[in-house]
Each structure stands twice: as structure tokens, then as C-alpha cells.
Amino acid sequence: MDFKFTEEQLLIQEAARDFAKTELLPGVIERDEKQEFPKEQVKRMGELGFLGMMTSEQYGGSGMDTVSYALVMEEISKVDASCSVIVSVNNSLVCWGLEKFGNEEQKQKYLTPLAKGEIIGAFCLSEPEAGSDATSQKTTAIEHGDHYIINGTKNWITNGSTADVYLVIAQTHPELKHKGINAFILEKGMAGFEIGPKEQKLGIRGSDTHSLIFNDVKVPKENRIGDDGFGFKFAMKTLAGGRIGIAAQALGIASGAYELAREYSKVRKSFGTEICNHQAIAFKLADMHTQIEAARHLVLKAAWDKDQGNNYDLSGAMAKLYASQVAMDTAIEAVQIHGGNGYVKEYHVERLMRDAKITQIYEGTSEIQKIVISRALLNK
């Protein structure tokens, strides 16, 4: 096996690392504290090509592979997970879904500006009673002549008020259950489309998370993605790729927390020496680094599977399951190594700990990943 990155992959990794340190790190604590959407930083990410990384160049994207995307996600997440989740949603859930399953008109109208970063998108699946259980959609899309009428509510939508394009999953034929679900492209400003209050979150507080309400929203038939009844399959295939992005985000959070803890341990003294010289701390660092490297291999294997055209349901779920646990464990240990300072905002690790928790929840909880993994292992 070749574990070396290509020259292009190394260059994009370096560009992402430099961007994170010079443009994300300044102000990241303030944005978290104020729950401020990183508008200027998102604009800059669009200019750098980070918002349409895997989209082909003919539609305004960077035409890069999934491994490069994972490297960028890791570097940005080390510093600001609120920004990285915006990158993840726009790339994995919105742009990829449109390029893979949208028709040419939809690609020209919506995908190109999304991939260029001129606008951003949102993926709308979760509901009050349909989070992990995507089959239980209560949002309805009733066919009416040359359009559909959409009614319902979506919860926990990233980019909820800042997106311009929304991919919405809704039930058209309840009697067909999951085979009656469709996916639609909605635009901000459509009559009856309301944006609910902003969620007050534990972590990724710079990310814009809202509920969305649809009251008789009229959507043209040409805005349906794929054939009638394709919506559930669209959502599942899109989420499978989304897990790789979130796994990379978790890896980045873990890496960022570890690096801060390691450097802190070299300067903080206790009992007459730097705390890294105490076996209790040195062993913590050894465990953290080992777990992060294991997570990194799982993430890159899933990304490689996707690039090779292999089935990545299993590898993506394993990467997301393990990396999210490593993110949580590593962030907690980083706070512990910092001692009292770990509880203080200026040292960053308390924010990384809060951000880490969401990686175990969105794109399917850890329990959902285990269902995906066990079904793959048992050929169900």
C-alpha cells in the first residue's frame, strides 16, 4: 500500500493549514462566543475552491479527489469546526448530490454557483420525528399540476438562514413508505418558506443552525431530483459520502486538541519540571496520538474507497464511528492536560471539546453507524 500523498494533495493540505492559521484562528473565540456566522471566512473559502472541491471543473468546482477534501476538512477543523461543517455540507451533501443525481438544467442553474462559492446550500432531511429514522418523513410534497405543494418542518439545518439553495426531502406517496419519498430543490424567498429561530447550541456555535417551516410552498416539477420516488435513495447515498466529511472533521478536532495539549505540556511546569516529563501526561499523549493515527487511516481509507469507485458505506460508517469517539476522548484529555486552563476559553481546548460532541450525533448517531456496519457485515 502507498501511504504517500501526491504533490497536489500536499499543496492543498498546506493551503488549508495556512488559511486556518492566518484567517480562521484570529477571531474564532469571539465568533464562538457571539454565535457569529463566519461570513467573510466563508467567502474566502469559496475563493480558495474549498466549497466545491469534488465538483468537476465544468460546473465551477475544483475537480479534486475525496482524499484532498478530507485533508482540507482536517486542517480547517483543527481550528474552527463551525467553518468546516459549512465546507462539509456544501461539498458532500449539496454539490455532490446535485452533480451525481441532478439533471443538466439543475446543474447549470444551481450547482455551478454553489461550487464556485457564490452561494451556499443546505441539506434538509431531519425533522422533529425523523432524525436518524429518515423513513418517517412528515413533510409532504403533494403533486398538483406542473408543481408540488410542500408542507412541513425541518429541524437542525446547517446553513439554515444563510443558504440560498435547499435540498429538501419530503413524502409524496405515504402508502409507498420510503419508496414514495422525493427530493426537491428549493430557493430562499419562495412564498410560504419560513426560517425558524436560530438554535442555541453547545458547540459549533458559529454554524448557522435553524428550523425551516414550509407552508404551501409551490415548487416546480423541474426542481425534483431524479425520478418520482427517488428521494430516499438520494438521501441515503448522499449521507454515505457525508459521513466521510464528518469523520474528517472529527479527526481534525482530535488533531487540533492533541497538538494544543502536546505544546502546552512542554511549557507548563509542575513539581519542578515540564509536565510532559511526567509519565501520567506522556502516556496520555501517547494514547491520543495512537488513536488519532488509527482514525486517520480509517478516514483516508473511506475517502480512497470513494475515489476508487468502491462501495464506501462500510468504510465511511466505520471512519465516522471511530473518529467521532476519538475526537470526544482526545478533547476531554486535552482539557485535562491543561488543568484549570483547559476550562478557559483562550486556550481553545474547551471549545474543541464542545465541538467534538456533535460529530457523534449528526450524519447519524454512533448507534446508527453501528447499524450500518453490522448490516454490511451480515449482508443485510
Q: Which residues are catalytic?
A: 363
Question: CA nearest 39: which of 159, 182, 184?
Answer: 159
Within 13 Å of residue 110, how many CA atoms lie on the same side as its CB?
A: 31
Compute the distance between CA of residue 179 and CA of residue 193 in angstroms, rounded to an integer: 25
Other CB atoms within 10 A of residue 78 CB: 28
* Element containing residue 235 per DSSP (H, E): helix 231-267
Encoded amino acid at 189, one letter: G
Which residue matches cell numbers 480558495? 48
Encoded amino acid at 355, one letter: D
Compute the distance between CA of residue 217 and CA of residue 6 in angstroms, rounded to an integer: 47
DSSP letter, residue 271: T
Contact 305/281 with Cβ under 8 angstroms? no
Q: Residue 278: phi, psi to the nearest 5? A: -85, 130
Which residue matches cell numbers 475525496? 66
Encoded amino acid at 81, one letter: A
